[in-house]
Amino acid sequence: MAALIAENFRFLSLFFKSKDVMIFNGLVALGTVGSEELFSVVAFNCPCSPARNYIYGLAAIGVPALALFLIGVIWNNHTWNLVAECHKRGIRNFSAAATFLLFGSIMGRAAVAPVTWSVISLLRGEAYICALSEFVKPSSLDKFPADYGADVLSRFPCKDVPANLTKFRDEVTRRLRYESQLFGWLLIGIVAVLVFLTKCLKHCCSPLSYRQEAYWAQYRSNEDKLFRRTAEVHSRILAAKNVKHFFGFVALDKEEKELVQEFPVEGVQPSPQWNAITGVYIYRENKGFPLYSRLHKWAKGVEGNGPSPEGHEMLFLAS
């Protein structure tokens, strides 16, 4: 029971694991701001037609946000690690709370760009004004002519109105922009509070010291860089051997010839080894010694991903 409670609480450290993640989220947000500005200048064009304004305005906010969210899910390494984990081993090693928070980590990071898009759209106000102008009650406007209705109100975002309605158009635009920006600022406040609470929970529930967590982050980064670089060289040398076997020779440049001579490649790694180093990794210790990745665990010969009497395991997801 104690191990289960520790598992659920320590999984609260799923979010915002390092400064690198925060920097990446900031860059994503800045890129989204630039994209939204470009979209507003180039693409946004309110139809100014009853029943169409609402659909178009919501689509201008929601559809790009949905696309950015899906892109964020696709680009998150945790997504494909989770897919591999479910395909090869299932999620039997995770409790319901751990699984929920794992999905929360993926969704939370993927939400950076769509939330930024929505906030900027609301602060600008064009899409909100376009969507809701026709729903403004004429009775709420002082001395609004009784012979005008929703069809005229829907044209307010395009400024295509009779001269005697100009002051009403300005009032409606100002009122809707106020509402839109209010929702935008509220959304910023809510997100800021959630980020703050998540960071506090992360530091309170982390089983690692600050220095060890920083070391773990450096190890993961270095391992990933070296693995990718070595995999590229390995695959190139293996491809050169196979091409030479087929043609009898292989056309290599000077650098590639040096690689082939320096690093002899005899074959490929079997599938069980690839499966062992692929998937969701949870921080663990074996006999008091930390295991920082699936590759590290495989190199040490530690089997399985669940609790064992020989190893002390602390559920702390690698970012």
One DSSP character per residue, the chain reads -HHHHHHHHHGGGGS--SHHHHHHHHHHHHHHHHHHHHHHHHT------TTHHHHHHHHHHHHHHHHHHHHHHHH-HHHHHHHHHHHHTTTTTS-HHHHHHHHHHHHHHHTHHHHHHHHHHHHH-HHHHHHHGGGS-GGGSTT--TT--HHHHTTGGGT-S-GGGHHHHHHHHHHHHHHHHHHHHHHHHHHHHHHHHHHHHHHHH-SS-HHHHHHHHHHHHHHHHHHHHHHHHHHHHHHHHHHHHHHS-----HHHHHHHHHS-------HHHHHHT-S--EEEEETTEEE-SHHHHHHTT---SS-BTTEEEEEEE--
Note the pLDDT of residue 223.
95
What's this model's pTM, rounded to 2 decimal places? 0.69
- Specify if 145 maps to a domain: yes
Residues 69 and 174 in one domain: yes
Residues 101 and 163 in one domain: yes
Note the pLDDT of residue 48.
87
Residues 120 and 217 in one domain: no
Note the pLDDT of residue 44.
76
Note the pLDDT of residue 25.
55
- Specify if 312 maps to a domain: no
Beta bridge partners of 286: 289, 311
Note the pLDDT of residue 29.
61
Note the pLDDT of residue 316.
47
Residues 74 and 149 in one domain: yes
Note the pLDDT of residue 228.
94
Note the pLDDT of residue 35.
62
What pLDDT tens digit does each residue of the chain (319 aa) get? 344 334 444 443 433 344 455 555 555 566 666 665 555 545 678 888 888 899 999 998 899 899 989 998 998 888 887 787 777 766 666 666 667 777 778 888 888 889 988 998 899 898 999 999 888 888 778 777 777 777 888 888 887 777 777 888 888 889 999 999 999 999 999 999 998 888 787 777 777 787 888 898 899 999 999 999 999 999 999 999 999 999 999 999 999 999 889 998 888 889 889 988 887 777 778 888 899 998 999 998 886 554 443 333 344 454 4
Residues 278 and 181 in one domain: no
Note the pLDDT of residue 80.
82
| Residue 59 lies in domain | 33-205
Token output for 56: 């178009």
Residues 40 and 157 in one domain: yes
Q: Which of 159, 178, 205 is the last residue of a domain?
A: 205
Residues 134 and 269 in one domain: no
Number of domains the chain contains = 2
Residues 129 and 188 in one domain: yes
Check if the beta carbon of residue 201 is closer than 8 Å to that of residue 12: yes
- Specify if 255 maps to a domain: yes
- Specify if 309 maps to a domain: no
- Specify if 138 maps to a domain: yes
Residues 197 and 215 in one domain: no
C-alpha span between 133 and 130 (Å, rounded): 6
Q: Which of 163, 179, 205 is the last residue of a domain?
A: 205
Residues 132 and 218 in one domain: no
Note the pLDDT of residue 84.
76
Q: Which of 144, 172, 205 is the last residue of a domain?
A: 205
- Specify if 152 maps to a domain: yes
Note the pLDDT of residue 314.
42
Residues 38 and 146 in one domain: yes
Check if the beta carbon of residue 233 is closer than 8 Å to that of residue 205: no
Residues 129 and 77 in one domain: yes
- Specify if 16 maps to a domain: no
- Specify if 317 maps to a domain: no
